C-alpha cells in the first residue's frame, strides 16, 4: 500500500515522472541504505530523542512528524545554499530525478539518525521506525520537496488573505517574509531568510508539510480508500490559529 501511495502522490506532480518514481522507490525509499553525506548532519529543530515509555505501554507508535519536519527544514536550508551536489529544487540545469534522489537520501539519513538515538537507550529499541513507517517518511519528504512551487504558492495565498498577519508582523510564524506578500520575484530574499533564521525555516517546513498532508495526501488516500501506515494524515503539530489560516474553509 505504501508503494502505491508514493507512486500516486508522485504521479500527481507534473515534474515527477513514472521513471523518477520507480528509481526512487527501488534505490532510495525501499533500500533503507542510502549513502550518507556529512553535510546533511546538522542540529534538528525538533527533538527526536528516546521514546515515551507511557506511549510504549499503550501500544502507540512514535509520531513520524518530527522527523519529517526536520527533513523538510533541512531541505529548505540546503535549497537556500544552492548546493549543487545535493540539489533541492528543479532548475534549468537540475532534473527532477536529481532532486528526488537528493530528497530521498536526506530523508533516509534523518531516519537513520533517529534509529541511532533509539537503539542508544536500553529498552527503547521499539521506538525505532518500522520499515513501513520509514517508507512513508521518505514518501512525504520527497512529495513536499517535489512540490515546492505549488505548496509555497498556496501558503502565500492563504497568508495574504489574512490582513492581520501583516498588521501584527506575524509572517515569521508561517515561515514567510513580507516581500513574498507583494508582487515580484523574491526568491533570493527568501533563501537568505531560510539560511539565516532557523525558527522561520522550521515554521515554513511545518506549514508546507501541513498543506501537503491535507491538499495532496489526504485527497489521494481518500480516492484509494486507504489510510497511511501511521493511521491518519492529521495535522497535530500546528496551533489552531495557524490552522485557521492554512485551511480557511474548515479543518477536520
Q: Tell me the DSSP string of 99-122.
A: HHHHHHHHHHHHHHHHHHHHHTST
Predicted confidence band of residue 168 (pLDDT cuts 50, 70, 90):
very high
The residues, ordered by sequence, that sit 6+ positions from 85 with a Cβ below 8 Å of its Cβ are 37, 39
Report the alpha-carbon distance of residue 138 to residue 117 in Å, rounded: 19
pLDDT at res. 165: 96
Pick 115 or 19 by higher pLDDT: 115
How many domains, in total, are found in the chain?
1
Look up residue 27 and give its DSSP letter. Answer: I
pLDDT at res. 133: 92
Grid cell locating 139: 514518501
Predicted confidence band of residue 56 (pLDDT cuts 50, 70, 90):
low
Helix axes 198-212, 187-196, angle to 10 degrees: 110
Burial of 17 (0-12, 13-18, 19+ CB in 10 A): middle
pLDDT (mean) for 117-122? 59
Phi, psi (deg, nearest 5) at residue 244: -65, -30
In a domain, 152, yes or no: yes
Report the alpha-carbon distance of residue 58 to residue 54 in Å, rounded: 6
pLDDT (mean) for 217-244? 84
In a domain, 60, yes or no: yes
Predicted confidence band of residue 4 (pLDDT cuts 50, 70, 90):
very low
The residues, ordered by sequence, that sit 6+ positions from 214 with a Cβ below 8 Å of its Cβ are 233, 235, 246, 247, 251
In a domain, 251, yes or no: no
Report the alpha-carbon distance of residue 107 to residue 105 in Å, rounded: 5
Grid look-up 490582513 returns: 163
Mean pLDDT, the chain, rounded, equals 78
Report the alpha-carbon distance of residue 36 to residue 69 in Å, rounded: 19
Q: ∠ at Cα 93 (91, 96), nearest 5°?
A: 60
pLDDT at res. 59: 63
Predicted confidence band of residue 227 (pLDDT cuts 50, 70, 90):
confident
In a domain, 118, yes or no: yes
Whether residue 66 has pLDDT greater than 60: yes
In angstroms, what is the C-alpha Rg of the chain?
Answer: 18
170-224, pLDDT tens digit by residue? Answer: 999 999 999 999 877 899 999 999 999 999 999 999 999 999 999 999 888 888 8
Work out whether the CA dihedral 225, 231, 159, 141 comes out positive or negative. negative
Predicted confidence band of residue 144 (pLDDT cuts 50, 70, 90):
very high
pLDDT at res. 21: 40
Predicted confidence band of residue 125 (pLDDT cuts 50, 70, 90):
low
In a domain, 252, yes or no: no
Predicted confidence band of residue 13 (pLDDT cuts 50, 70, 90):
very low
Whether residue 151 has pLDDT greater than 70: yes
SS3 state of residue 234? coil
| Residue 165 structural domain | 2-34+45-246
The residues, ordered by sequence, that sit 6+ positions from 222 with a Cβ below 8 Å of its Cβ are none
pLDDT at res. 119: 60
In a domain, 40, yes or no: no
Phi, psi (deg, nearest 5) at residue 91: -135, -175
Q: In the chain, pLDDT over 90 holds for what percent of residues?
A: 55
Pick 21 or 92 by higher pLDDT: 92
Amino acid at each position: 500500500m505504501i508503494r502505491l501511495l508514493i507512486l500516486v502522490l508522485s504521479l500527481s506532480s507534473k515534474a515527477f515522472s513514472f521513471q523518477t518514481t520507480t528509481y526512487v522507490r527501488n534505490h532510495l525509499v525501499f533500500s533503507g541504505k542510502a549513502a550518507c553525506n556529512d553535510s546533511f548532519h546538522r542540529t534538528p529543530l525538533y527533538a527526536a530523542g528516546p521514546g515515551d515509555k507511557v506511549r510504549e505501554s499503550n501500544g502507540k507508535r512514535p509520531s513520524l512528524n518530527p522527523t519529517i519536519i526536520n527533513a523538510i527544514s533541512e531541505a529548505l536550508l540546503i535549497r537556500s545554499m544552492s548546493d549543487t551536489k545535493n540539489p533541492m529544487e528543479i532548475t534549468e540545469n537540475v532534473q527532477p530525478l536529481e532532486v528526488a534522489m537528493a530528497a530521498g537520501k536526506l530523508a533516509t539519513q534523518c531516519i537513520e539518525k533517529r534509529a541511532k538515538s533509539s537503539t542508544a537507550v536500553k529498552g527503547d529499541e521499539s521506538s525505532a521506525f518500522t520499515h513501513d513507517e520509514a517508507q512513508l517518511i521518505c514518501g512525504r519528504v520527497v512529495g513536499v520537496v517535489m512540490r515546492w512551487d505549488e505548496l509555497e504558492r498556496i501558503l502565500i495565498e492563504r497568508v495574504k488573505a489574512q490582513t492581520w498577519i501583516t498588521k501584527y508582523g506575524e509572517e515569521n510564524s508561517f515561515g514567510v517574509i513580507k516581500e513574498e506578500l507583494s508582487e515580484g520575484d523574491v526568491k533570493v530574499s527568501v533563501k537568505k531568510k531560510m539560511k539565516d533564521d532557523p525558527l522561520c525555516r522550521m515554521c515554513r517546513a511545518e506549514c508546507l508539510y501541513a498543506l501537503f498532508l491535507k491538499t495532496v495526501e489526504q485527497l489521494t488516500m481518500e480516492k484509494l480508500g486507504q489510510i497511511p501506515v501511521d493511521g491518519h494524515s492529521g495535522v497535530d503539530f500546528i496551533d489552531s490559529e495557524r490552522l485557521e489560516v492554512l485551511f480557511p474553509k474548515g479543518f477536520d
